[in-house]
Amino acid sequence: MNPTILNDYVEYLSTIKGRSNGTITEYTYDISNFLKFITASKNSITVNAETLKEISILNFKTDELVHITLKDIHAYMTFLDRVAHNSTSTRARKIASIKSFFKYVVNIRKIMKINPAELLDTPAKSSRNPVYLTLDESIQLIQSVETTKNEIFRTRDRAILVLFLNCGLRLSELASINIDKIRANNTLQVVGKGDKERTIYLNEASMEAITDYLRIRPDVQNEPALFLSMRKSRLSTRAIQHRVEHYLKIAGFDTNIYSTHKLRHTAATLMFKYGEVDIRILQEILGHESVSTTQIYTHLDDEGLRSAVSKNPLNIKSSKKDS
């Protein structure tokens, strides 16, 4: 249960700002955890990533917000970094959520005069090359599904991995797939960022994986979802993350480094590297609004860099010999 101020903020995001359901869910989760941390701190309760979930904020009073300072927010950022071990991008998202919340509190609700998040800095993103699986590692990950004995779950999970690695789907897009959105022309309609529907083109491997799962998928009335849980309802994004993490561990990959989003990155990288895909086409496949976002997926590996240097027309050995 959330406090009144958070419920009011969520209503504002939905009705006034017109935010997508995915964005609202993320912001609600982020602000809820932030208020839990503030509550724990004010009551001198030491928490970690797990025990934070147990803190109740149902009785959090709106007037308590005026006592929150920039120092409190910095303490929460330190907690996310050193205790919860959140990535830079995750902390950046949570900062965006907190800034949005306090803008609402200060500018819309007029509860506070000073915005404690106004001077909050976003953590600098690493300039390292993005992480992805190689072709052989991707095959190894798909093969790890064979360790699952239950045929329905094994076939379902194989389809999930194949779609991630072949189509570059976002986690939310894969979870949103409905059976009636799979077309006879090997295309698929999914709900992307901002609740925008977009078309996914399915290759032979993807169609085969989906068809194999549909043959044994439980027939559940009034349940349009393609991927079903043990309870025969739509598989949640968190459940999908758990299944992917399970197979990543079996295949020997560090789940602190690899995730469902890294599978999307892998799909983009493999398409660009082996399919000679134009960056504009890749942008369309991934559903990016800006091509600048797509460019991070077109990094070259060491082999590509070495090959490019060796193809320089000036790469000519001197015929001159020492006298």
Catalytic residues: 170, 193, 261, 264, 288, 297
- Partnered with residue 228 across adjacent β-strands are 234
Query: CB within 8 A of 183, min separation 6: which ones?
Result: 189
Q: What is the CB-side half-sphere exposure of residue 300 using CA atoms within 13 A?
A: 9
Tokens coding 10 = 């969520």
| Strand bridging mode 187-191 / 197-201 | antiparallel
Q: Where are the alpha helices (H) located in the chain, listed in sequence order?
A: 4-15, 21-42, 70-78, 88-103, 135-143, 151-167, 171-175, 204-216, 237-250, 260-274, 279-286, 291-294, 302-310
Question: Which residue has 């399970």 as its token pair?
Answer: 246
Q: Do residues 8 and 28 touch, judged by C-beta distance below 8 A?
A: no
Enumerate helices (H) and strands (E) in the chain, giving the number of each.
13, 2
Report the distance separating Cα 297 and Cα 287, nearest Å.
13
- Partnered with residue 199 across adjacent β-strands are 189
Report the distance separating Cα 310 and Cα 232, nearest Å.
55
Report the distance separating Cα 309 and Cα 234, nearest Å.
49
What SS3 state is found at 198?
A: strand
